Amino acid sequence: MSAVIETARLTKRYRDLVAVNELSLKVEEGETFGFLGPNGAGKTTTILMLLGLSEPTDGQAFVCGFDPTRQPLEVKKRVGYLPENPGFYEDLTARENLFYIARLNRVPRTDANRRITRLLGQVGLDNDGDRPVSEFSRGMKQRLGIAEVLVKEPKVVIMDEPTLGIDPDGVTRILELITGLNREHGITIMLSSHLLHQVQQICHRIGIIVKGKMIVQGDVDKLGSAILKERRWNFLLEVGGKADGLEAELRSISGIAEVEPRVGGWFLHCTVDVRPAVVSLVSRKGLSLLQLRSEDPTLEEIYLKYFREA
């Protein structure tokens, strides 16, 4: 695979404030990349530089092989951008808004008709295309925003907090849509978000930025393995019955490095597979074993690990 987005020492200063600090980033062709960080970390500033909407103070960026600062129109031809709050003409229908975008991108009218009908169906708005956008919910507007981004058939789509403020059903629709764009249409996705459980569902790799600096990037599973170090086993334990003293006895089992209380049970960080010993202990204490399942590190654990170090 080749990189479709790549930066080297990309920097943006506003007087004494360093918003982006020597950022080196790589997004491979055909992947979904999660760009993570707290508010004010520099995510949106980075995106604006990638789109040619803001000039870097130092360093370089290349998007689809073009420099956004010197060749912004070439980048815009190939990259679609969905901001956190996409804007529409609210008194126009969804279809009319898409036609307007098609005209701006010089899509021939015949192609635009066919393309817009297909896109409205693709984002689940085929029955709402002739309704004014003022009647749309936030989730519907986000889906219309995705259709708008796809009108010019981009190679890369950059999304800034696409599910923020949307109800659970709407979030599921958006995530399924993003997954489909990547898997079925081969579009490279760069997704900026702080909703970690959603990112873990759909992203191949992640990068974490804190105070303008990229502190880590890589495959989610590999980063999870790295934070475990020698702790190769993780189990979630839940029992039924009076569990007085169980936590202390769990800590005494050889191979259990850490016992972390959870609602209704415990999370066991282990150096070996301790399941036989745990089952034996639960049985001896006359408790019911409700659950003892292996768990990989969550993206939240990975994020907190690197965020605290930074």
What are the structural domains of the chain?
3-223 (3.40.50.300), 229-309 (3.30.70.100)
Instruction: Please determine, for residue 55, whether its predicted confidence score (pLDDT) is greater than 50.
Output: yes
Per residue in 99-122, pLDDT (tens digit) is 999 999 999 998 999 999 999 999
More confident residue, 294 or 228: 294
- Please list, in sequence order, all residues whose beta carbon lies within 8 angstroms of the beta carbon of residue 254, skipping any fewer than 6 positions away: 272, 274, 277
Task: Please check whether residue 239 is in contact with residue 282, taking contact to mean a CB–CB distance below 8 angstroms.
Answer: yes
Per residue in 255-302, pLDDT (tens digit) is 999 999 988 899 898 888 899 999 999 999 999 999 998 876 677 777
Stated pTM of the model = 0.78
Q: Tell me the mean pLDDT in the region 27-42.
A: 92
- Residue 272: per-residue pLDDT: 86
Tell me how far apart the alpha carbons of residues 26 and 100 are, in angstroms, rounded to a whole number.
33
Query: ∠ CA 269-275-279 to the nearest 5 degrees?
Result: 120
Axis crossing angle, helix 299-309 with helix 220-228, rounded to the nearest 10: 60
Q: Tell me the mean pLDDT in the region 205-229.
A: 82
Instruction: Please determine, for residue 231, whether its predicted confidence score (pLDDT) is greater than 80.
Output: no
Instruction: Please determine, for residue 227, whether its predicted confidence score (pLDDT) is greater than 70.
Output: no
- Residue 24: per-residue pLDDT: 95
Per residue in 175-216, pLDDT (tens digit) is 999 999 999 899 999 999 878 888 888 998 999 999 999 999
- Residue 230: per-residue pLDDT: 47
Q: Where are the beta strands (DSSP E) in the chain?
A: 3-14, 17-28, 32-36, 58-63, 79-82, 156-160, 188-193, 205-210, 213-219, 233-240, 256-262, 265-270, 288-294
